[in-house]
Amino acid sequence: MENENGKSKLPFVVAITGASGAIYGLRLLQFLLSSGQPVDLLLSRAAQRVMKEEHDLILEGDVENLLLSYLKLPKAVPLKLHPLNDYGASVASGSYRTRGMVVLPCSLGTLGALAAGLTENLIHRAAAVTLKERRKLMIVVREMPFGHIQLKNMLALSEAGAIVSCASPGFYHRPETVQDQVDFVVGRVLDQFDFDNQLFKRWKEDSRPIVQEKKVGQ
């Protein structure tokens, strides 16, 4: 896969873990692949459980093709799904060059493991490699509220060089659907890695007149 300058596109690592909000990771995956961006995908067992609960998406058997079918993407897209116990996978090595890695959504269990430097599965290992190679690692937590331990874990990862965020959509673009809110979060994630996108209206991007405020539910 080549970009407009004729140079090969570096793959992007996407990890989806078992926090509620699998829709964020699925939408990110859909955008990247539909844009021709090569993706190395890491999918936890808990994430598959969440997809079943939240989307009626049952990933058994040919998981990669089931995902592509759900996302309405052709089989020819540049996707590589890695088993989480494959420590010989490309993403387990620092010599495998990538554009960076995002964990979206990131469960609190994964957050704790990454902060402690544990490598109990390929998600942990790929994240540790991303940090040690000084590449961009973004952790997007979908949880509330946060306890002292979770806040300390976020601080530890930020101090180690990761970008830590919450899946918190803005409202200044006046979202009308859940998809609008999802696209805001995914668009802001893409911004951190310099992926061009028009998934949401940016602040002061248009000149819509201010209308009278209404309360939610009116």
Can you give the pLDDT at residue 206?
A: 64
CA-CA distance, 186 to 98, in Å (whole number)? Answer: 19
Can you give the pLDDT at residue 204?
A: 80
Q: Say yes or no to pLDDT of 116 above 90.
A: yes
CA-CA distance, 157 to 207, in Å (whole number)? Answer: 39
Question: Looking at domain 12-192, what is its CATH homologous superfamily?
Answer: Flavin prenyltransferase-like (3.40.50.1950)
* Edge-to-edge strand list for the sheet holding 163-166: 79-82, 39-43, 12-16, 101-106, 137-141, 163-166
Q: Is 124 exposed, middle or buried (0-12, 13-18, 19+ CB in 10 A)?
A: buried
pLDDT band at 3 (very low <50, low <70, confident <90, very high): low
Mean pLDDT of 10-19: 97
Helices H, strands E: what count in the chain? 7, 6
CA-CA distance, 193 to 132, in Å (whole number)? Answer: 18
Say how many C-beta atoms besides its own lie within 10 A of residue 201's C-beta. Answer: 17
Angle 119-103-187 from CA coordinates, rounded to 5°? 165
* Domains of the chain by residue range: 12-192
In tens, the pLDDT along 161-218 reads: 999 999 999 998 899 999 999 999 999 999 999 999 999 988 887 644 443 444 444 3
Mean pLDDT of the chain: 91
Q: Give the least confident one: 41-45, 125-129, 214-218.
A: 214-218
pLDDT band at 58 (very low <50, low <70, confident <90, very high): very high
In tens, the pLDDT along 137-153 reads: 999 999 999 999 999 99
